[in-house]
Amino acid sequence: MFNVVVTGGNKGIGYEICRQLVGRSSTHVVLCSRDRPRGENAIEQIKKSEQFGSKSKISLLLLDLDDSKSIEDAAKTVESQFGLVDILVNNGARAVWGTDFNADIVRTTLNTNFFGLKLTSEKFLPLIRPGGRIVNLSSMVSQFSFRQMSESIRSKFLADDLTMDGLVSSLEEYCLRVEKGDWKEKGWPTNGYGISKVGVSMLTRIYARDNPDLLINCCCPGSVKTAMNRKGTKTVAEGAATPLHLAIGDLQGISGKFWSNLLVEDWF
Ligand SMILES: NC(=O)c1ccc[n+]([C@@H]2O[C@H](COP(=O)([O-])OP(=O)(O)OC[C@H]3O[C@@H](n4cnc5c(N)ncnc54)[C@H](OP(=O)(O)O)[C@@H]3O)[C@@H](O)[C@H]2O)c1
């Protein structure tokens, strides 16, 4: 069985990724949800869809990106019940609707979108089969936020030898600057979601560099109409196309890149 784990699989783009993958032969979709009823309901819907055939296999895995124990338990459950993982899709994330901005929003957004994804990757990496893949849902907003940073902050992120500790310390610096109220003077943009996704994009680069036996990429799904983005213009099926390509498409060995509309977008 080809095991695919998708975080935040109970709705939106994550749900659509699960729904499309479940129709693939010999594929076991592990749909993660932080909430059991929402996860069970999603699986029930997928089982009713035309993609679900007599040989399809889908399982629910509880995984809350805001709870390190839940992430650790999820990885242990996968190891004991399903064995090795072929693909991890780090999809689950949060965003605050509107222009609200304060230290609390920045901290909670970074905790879920960056630190939760980082811990999930750390716990699942040892379970990923050689030749396996990680797909990280980043965003074009990370590119915009990156461009709004000072040259000196950008150069830290772009360093060839950027380490995970270095990345974490830059993101902690952003949280601190927002708390102190001097983030603008220090060269940071006013966008916690954007910075969380800069973290995801840079983490992708670091993990790809340090795990040459895997294909690890990130992408923007486009502006997709979901609970997170009520003004999105793409359908969830259109939004799932690039992450699905990174999961099961022919990538010609490309790793550590940011993709959009099925193509590499070179900005880091
Ligand atoms: N939609 C867009 O236009 C767009 C654009 C660029 C990038 N993206 C990225 O695409 C991905 C999917 O977004 P979407 O539009 O499909 O959003 P969505 O419909 O709001 O779905 C988000 C998913 O993440 C889950 N989630 C949120 N917080 C979580 C936590 N603490 N632990 C575990 N799961 C959690 C949600 O679960 P609950 O139902 O329990 O909340 C839900 O399953 C995200 O990474 C997003 O940043 C989206």
Q: Are 40 and 263 in contact (CB under 8 A)?
A: no
- State the Cα–Cα distance between residues 11 and 125, nearest whole angstrom: 24
Burial 133-143 (b: 16+ CB within 10 A, else e): bbbbbbbbbbb
Q: What is the DSSP letter of 97?
A: S
Q: Are 146 and 268 in contact (CB under 8 A)?
A: yes
Task: Tell me the backbone φ, ψ of residue 30, rounded to 5 degrees.
Answer: -105, 100
Residue nearest to atom 2 of ligand 1 (CA): 224
What ligand 1 atom has the least distance to the C-alpha of 243? Answer: 10
Strand order in the sheet with 128-137: 57-62, 27-33, 2-6, 85-90, 128-137, 215-220, 258-260, 263-264
**Residue 90 has which token pair?**
């780090």
pLDDT of residue 131: 97
- Answer whether 0.85 is exceeded by the pTM: yes
Residue type at position 222: G
What is the distance in A from the centroid of ligand 1 to the CA of 94? Answer: 6
pLDDT in tens, 68-123: 999 999 999 999 999 999 999 999 999 997 889 999 999 999 999 999 999 999 99
- State the Cα–Cα distance between residues 112 and 196, nearest whole angstrom: 9
pLDDT in tens, 155-204: 999 999 999 999 999 999 999 999 999 999 999 999 999 999 999 999 99
- State the Cα–Cα distance between residues 268 and 263, nearest whole angstrom: 14
Query: What CATH class is the domain 2-95+115-140+196-264?
Result: alpha beta
pLDDT of residue 99: 86
What is the distance in A from the centroid of ligand 1 to the CA of 227? Answer: 8
The answer for residues whose C-beta is within 8 angstroms of residue 166's C-beta and 6 or more apart is 156, 159
Residue 15 among the catalytic residues:
no
pLDDT of residue 159: 97
- Every domain of the chain and the residues it spans: 2-95+115-140+196-264
Residue nearest to atom 17 of ligand 1 (CA): 228
Please spell the DSSP secondary structure of 96-122, one letter per residue: -SSS---HHHHHHHHIIIIIIHHHHHH
Residue type at position 154: R
Per the rule left: phi > 0, alpha: psi between -120 and 50, beta: everything else, 144 is alpha
pLDDT of residue 235: 98
CA 253 to chain centre: 20
What is the distance in A from the centroid of ligand 1 to the CA of 178? Answer: 24
Active-site residue identified among 15, 174, 193, 207: 193
Q: Are 151 and 209 in contact (CB under 8 A)?
A: no
What is the arithmetic mean of pLDDT over 199-217? 98
Q: What is the DSSP letter of 127?
A: G
Ligand 1 neighbours by CB, cut-off 6 Å: 7-8, 10-14, 34-35, 38, 63-66, 91-94, 112, 137, 139, 220-221, 223-224, 226-229, 232
Mean pLDDT taken over the chain? 97
